[in-house]
Amino acid sequence: MATSDQLLAALAAVTDPNTGKDFVSTKALKNLQINGADVAFDVELGYPARSQVPALRQALVAAARGVPGVGNVSVNIATKVLAHAVQRGVQLMPGVKNIVAVASGKGGVGKSTTAVNLALALAAEGAAVGLLDADIYGPSQPMMMGIDGRPGSEDGKTMEPLENYGVQVMSIGFLVNQDEAMIWRGPMATQALEQLLRQTNWKELDYLVVDLPPGTGDIQLTLSQRVPMTGAVIVTTPQDIALLDARKAVAMFEKVGVPILGLVENMAMHVCSNCGHVEHIFGEGGGRRYAAERGIDYLGALPLDMSIRLQADNGKPTVVADPDGEVAGIYKQVARRVAVKIAAKARDFSSKFPTITVSKDT
């Protein structure tokens, strides 16, 4: 009969492709049980990885069966997403473990498209995901998510998020007519956004993806200072002008203590649909160079592809319209890298601490 030490040594040779570490030293492997020739154990991932589970299970079973005396091997692989640390002095929101801001500093670089596909990719990998459209003046997520309706309220105090493709969604676009302009000054817009965020009855989310408006003004600053953000994803194109504004977004998050989870380079290249010629319309490698310069993780590069735009306009973004396609694969890779980066962060223990009150004796 195989011993636990033999099995752990064999299983330690299997490396998590997302972290580069083995499951034994990271204590992700739990509950190892040996019953004669039968072996069973659990693996607990800190990030969603539904698409990778079959390959991981196959590698772990093969490693265990390589130990003499092992017959049947049962492996249970599950995901447990934890709440992770946010800015100092900011409390977590009820029902939301991790908030991820998607920002650009500049409009027109595909930030909203990246945000919606990031949310859908996390959901496709098995996470409970919400999407908040934080662009009060130009909400686009109702169209991109293919949702038309108004949120209801079960208690008269909070709003129920609308849902499509397994993602909970809230946007000012659900509350106003499509052609109505939000002619509000900054404080009004900021207050409206806080209400959308805090008065939505989010249902036990692993991740809430926040699609920020372009710029570094009132809305962005309020969210960064008062909303518990686990981290931010920066979207840019390779163009120098776009990178100028991306730098400002990075600087804003750094000043308020929000970690940068990584950078996505959008419209990195264009592949001609007729001849296949690759052309770098907005320059080449600008985002990658900037990420390397600042020590920011480079999450991935997406092409300038007409199908991405058409799918988003039709209310069925790439990750759900063509889930097995090359572009959807890039979005899923970006989502996994974001989730793995979050899983490596320090946990939030604020809910474990008792509330201390000081009373004066009379």
Is 345 known as a binding-site position? no
Is 110 known as a binding-site position? yes
Is 152 known as a binding-site position? no
CA trace torsion 281, 284, 290, 293 (10° rounding): -170
Token pair of 202 as six digits: 């989010």
Measured CA to CA, the distance from residue 327 to residue 110 in angstroms comes to 14
Contact 262, 337 (CB under 8 A): yes
Contact 46, 82 (CB under 8 A): yes
Is 27 known as a binding-site position? no
Is 66 known as a binding-site position? no
Closest among 4, 1, 7, 3 to 65, alpha carbons compared: 7
Write down the residue that tokens 């308020």 correspond to: 256
Is 332 known as a binding-site position? no
Is 276 known as a binding-site position? no
Pairing mode of beta strands 129-133, 29-35: unpaired
Token pair of 133 as six digits: 């459209």
Closest among 221, 224, 206, 240 to 119, alpha carbons compared: 206
Is 112 known as a binding-site position? yes
Query: What is the DSSP-derived secondary structure letter of residue 348?
Result: P
Token pair of 227 as six digits: 């909303």
Residues that constitute the known binding site for ATP: 105-112
Residues that constitute the known binding site: 105-112
